[in-house]
Chain A
Amino acid sequence: MEPALITRGLGKNYGHLAALVDMTLTVEKGVIFGFLGPNGAGKTTAIRVLMDEIRASSGGASILGLDTHKDSVALRHKIGYLPSEFTLYPNMTGADLIHFFANLRGGVDTDYVKVLVERFDVQMTKKIGDLSSGNQQKIGIIQAFMNKPEFLILDEPSGGLDPLMQRELQGLMRETADSGGTVFLSSHTLSEVQRVSDRVGIIRQGKLIALESIGSLRAKGIRKIEIELAREPDVSVFSGVPGIRSLLIERNRVFISHEGKVQTLLAAVMSKCELRDISTNEADLEEVFLTYYHEESA
C-alpha cells in the first residue's frame, strides 16, 4: 500500500538559518503520527512546507501520492488542516465561517458538520470575535474535520481546549485513523501524543532525531524510581552508578530517573544505606523525550 506521507530530504533555510534539515520520513496510511519537538524545533516549518505555504529549499514531499507543491490545490481536496496559530474572521459567526469554507471547498456534508458541532458543543451563532479562544479552537477543529479528510494535519490542536474536549478530539483522531485516514499530529504536549499516537517522530533544531513506534520508545526502559532510606544519603552513594539520568535527594527520599538494569542501582544503594521502601514507574514519553533531547544537546 502506498504510504500516506513521504518526505525526501526536506529542508528549509532562511538565509543561513536552517529551520528544517534533510527530513526524510514515511507515514503509512491509517495511523496517527505524533510529530514531537520543543518550541522552535521546526514542526510548524515542516507543516507549512507540506501545506505549500512556504517552499522547500531542498527535497520534496508527497501526500496520498500527490506532490505537496505541484499538486497542492488538488491535494487540499483531500486534506484537513488546523494551523498552530490561526485567526478566524472575527466579524463572522461560526456558522458563517463554516459555510464560507464549505463553499470554497465544495462537497461538505452539512449533516456531518452538525454532528461535529454537537460533539464539540460550539456556539455557532455568536460572532467569532466574541468567542473565547477555546471556542475559536473548536471551530478551527470542525473546519479541519468537516470534509472527512483522508489526511489530517493538526498543528498543536489542543491549545485552549479543556480536558473533556481534548478527549473528544483524541477520539475523533482515532476514529479517522481507524477508518483508514491518516493523522499528522504536531505537538509538544507529550501526554497527548502518548495517548493517541501509533508512531512518533522527534524533531529538534530542524532535524528529525528519532522515529519510533510508541511501544519501542517506552521499551527504552527508562524508569522513575523513588527510594526511601533510613537517613539522608550522601550524594557520593550514587556517583559512578551506571544508568542514572537524573537524581534528586530530598532528605531521606531519593528520586531517580534510571535507564538499564535496576539490579545494579539497588546493589549500589544497599551496600551503603538501609533501604526502607521502593517504588518504580514506567517513564512517560515526557522523560523519554527529555532523554533524547539531552542526548542530542550533549
Chain B
Amino acid sequence: MHKAETDHATASIGFNRDEPYVDWHDETLWFVRVKRDRAARQLPEWENLRETASGIKDFVLAHMDSLLVQFEARALENGIKVHWAADADEHNRIVGDILESHGITRMVKSKSMLTEECHLNPYLASRGIEVVDTDLGERIVQLRQEPPSHIVLPAIHLKKQDIGELFHEHLGTEAGATDPQYLTEAARVHLREMFLTRRAALTGVNFAVAETGGFMVCTNEGNADMGVHLADVHIACMGFEKLIPAERHLGVFLRLLARSATGQPVTTYSSYFRKPRAGQEMHIVIVDNGRSAQLARPDFRNSLKCIRCGACMNTCPVYRRSGGHSYHHVVPGPIGSILAPNFDMRANADLPFASTLCGSCTNVCPVKIDIHYQLYQWRQTLAREGYVPAAKAAGIRAMNAVLSRPRFYQWGGKVGRSLMKLAPVLVNNSLNPWYHQREMPEPPGESFREWYLRNRSKK
C-alpha cells in the first residue's frame, strides 16, 4: 500500500493560495447548505424523518445477509441478471464481460460513485471500450481528465470561465463564452448524440428494494433515463449497502435525499426500475469492495448508512476551504474521511485529521451517521496501529509526560513563559506554524495557579 503523494494539509496550502477563489468556493457551497436548511425547516417532521431513516438503515446493516438474498431472488424473478463482485477488479471484469459479450465498444454512464471507486473507466478503456459520462458535471471532469471534487456536484470547483474554455476546446463552442445557458445547450447537443448511438447504459443505484427486487435511480438531468431507455443493455452497479427493506421506505429516503443534497423537495427524476422492457437486458452488479470489512468494525459500520447526499461536504468548514481534491479519496469531505481508512489506512491516515471535529456533519446527515465521533475514533485506531507520523507521536508523548506530572507542568509553564518574554524569537519564528499567520498569546507574569496561591489559598 502506498502513501498519498500529497496529504490533505499540504494540498490545502495550494488551494488557499488564491483567497478570492477560496471565498467563492466557500460561499458557493454555503449557499447549498442554506438551501438545505430552508428545505429542512419546511417539514415539521424533519428530525423525525432523519430518525426514521437512521432506524431503517440500522435494520438493513443488521440484516444485510438475508436482505441481499431476498433482493437477489426477487430481481431474478423479475428477469434481471444478478452478479456479485467481491472487489473492484471483479466488478470491472463483470461489466467488461457483459459489454464484450454483446460486442459493445461504446457506452453511456450516468452518475455512479461506485464506478469511480472501482476506476471502471480506465479499466474499460484498457479493454478498448469507450465510456461517456452523461451527468453534466461528470462529463466536465471527464473531459478535464480529473476526478470529481464532490459526490453530488462533481465540478463544483470550477467556474463558468473554466467550463467555457473546456467546451471551446472539446465541443467547439465560441472562445470566451461563459453564458451557462449557451454552454449547457452545447453539452445537451453533444450528449444527445451519445444517447442515440450507444447500445449500453450503465447507471448507479440510489436505493435497492429487497421486497421487490427493484431499484431506484435519482438524477436531476434525466440522463440516466435517457441512457437506459435508448439502450439494449442496462447495467446497474451498486455497493451492497444501497439496500432498503421495502418499497414504502422509499418515501422516507426520497424526502430526505434531495432536500439534504441541494435543498430541492425531490430529485427531478426518481426512476424506479423493476424489470427489463421487452428486448432489453438488465443487469445488477452487487459490489462488496471492502464493505464487509467496514460492516465488521463496530465503531465504523454505520458509515455504511450513507445515502450519498453530500450534505456533510456542503456544511464542512474544512471541505469548503480545501476543496474535494485535497482529500485524495474518491469520496471527499467528512463522510469520505471515515470511509477512506477502511480501504487503506496508510494512504488515508491524514484524512480523519482533516477536521476540527466541529460536528456540523453529524447534524446535517439525513441518516444520522455520527461522523465526527467516527473521525475521532479513526484517529485512535490510526495512532494505535502506528499510522501517525513518528514526529507527531513523539511530540504527543512528550506533552503527556509533562501534563501527567503536576510539578513538571508547573515548572515547565513558568520556564516556558519566562523564555517567551525574554526571547520571543524562540516561538516567534518560521518553524512555528502558529506564528506563520498569527501572533502568539502574550505570556502573563503569573499563572492562574500562582495568582490563586497569592490571593485565595491562605488557609
Q: Do A and B come from one complex?
A: no
A residues apposed to B, CB below 8 Å: none
B residues apposed to A, CB below 8 Å: none
